[in-house]
Amino acid sequence: MIVVTGAAGFIGSCMVGKLNSLNIDNIIIVDDFNKESKLKNWENKHFCDKIQREDFFKWAEINIQKINFIIHLGARTDTTESDYSVFEDLNLSYSQRMWSFATKHGIPLLYASSAATYGDGKFGYSDSEENIPKLVPLNAYGKSKNEFDKWVLKQKNQPPYWAGFKFFNVYGPNEYHKGRMASVIYHCFNQIHETGKMKLFRSHNQAYLDGEQLRDFIYVKDVVNVLYWFLQKPRKSSIYNLGTGYARHFLSLANATFKALNIEPSIEFIDIPLDIRNQYQYYTQAEMKKLKSLGYRKSFHSLENGIDEYVTRYLKKNMIY
């Protein structure tokens, strides 16, 4: 069976949806299932059992013979949370336990890292293992992810096959519960629906005009396609970037969202909130040579095509993947 943690969340539930679309239902889903806000993400999925996050290791030791693969996507992802102890518990200590469990029992492991580990990008966006110890994340979330990456690279005892993924700006269905942390596209859709216009952050960096901040936006279906490719057979164990490899303006994102709704663009600029202004990334772009060198050839959605599908197939119809 395949264990998917974070299965009630955004990327985790889409991973289960991807597996279900391939008629795979020998899945154990793991998360905090007490959160009613996430119910839609898993209630109609097909799986063998659901296990509360805090009960997983006790359950797993009893059912070890049933587990063939672990996809560890569960994490605290709120970049505005400043209390590092919150991330230390869920993103570092829990992930270390998952690694140790997979190592002890010889189970392949995939896990989620983040592009937040790159901080302001002064050391570039290379996913070479030599680059990882240099990185200086801008927030507690990014720090927790980078600390785990660094810890992983020091481990002499490893699962038989493993891979970590630095997710860039992921957007797509099943993110409705994330509140402030949902993608700009999700917020844009709702703003346009309610007011006919949308708000983007004003630039507080002289190197960038308003709306011309650049991010590597990747559609969640492309993310789970890559994870499934790694699940199919062993690849080189390492930490990989997972973005499109192309940075795009927020203005391009806005215009694509208006186009998907068949509405003329109307954009207003607002200040970046003070609590995240010093942590704001003005540019991210995944260096994708490492993944491509393994032979991954499936194309990614363009920003325009991804937004069009997300808006027309999911947001307008209030549908879940």
Catalytic residue among 111, 118, 125, 141: 141
Which runs of E-coded beta strand occur in the chain? Answer: 2-5, 27-31, 49-52, 69-72, 109-114, 162-167, 169-171, 198-201, 214-215, 217-219, 238-242, 248-249, 267-270
If one counts every other C-beta atom within 10 angstroms of the C-beta of residue 46, the result is 13
Do 46 and 40 meet the contact criterion of CB atoms below 8 Å apart? no
316 is catalytic: no
Cβ neighbours for 90, distance < 8 A, ≥ 6 positions apart: 74, 75, 76
Catalytic, 141? Answer yes
Phi, psi torsion values for 64, nearest 5 degrees: -55, -35
Please classify residue 242 by burial: count the beta carbons closer than 10 Å to its beta carbon, then call 0-12 exposed, 13-18 middle and 19+ buried. buried
- 240, 163 Cβ separation under 8 angstroms: yes
What's the rounded Cα separation, in Å, for the pair 278 and 269? 18
Catalytic residue among 40, 66, 178, 259: 178
- Kindly list the catalytic residues: 141, 178
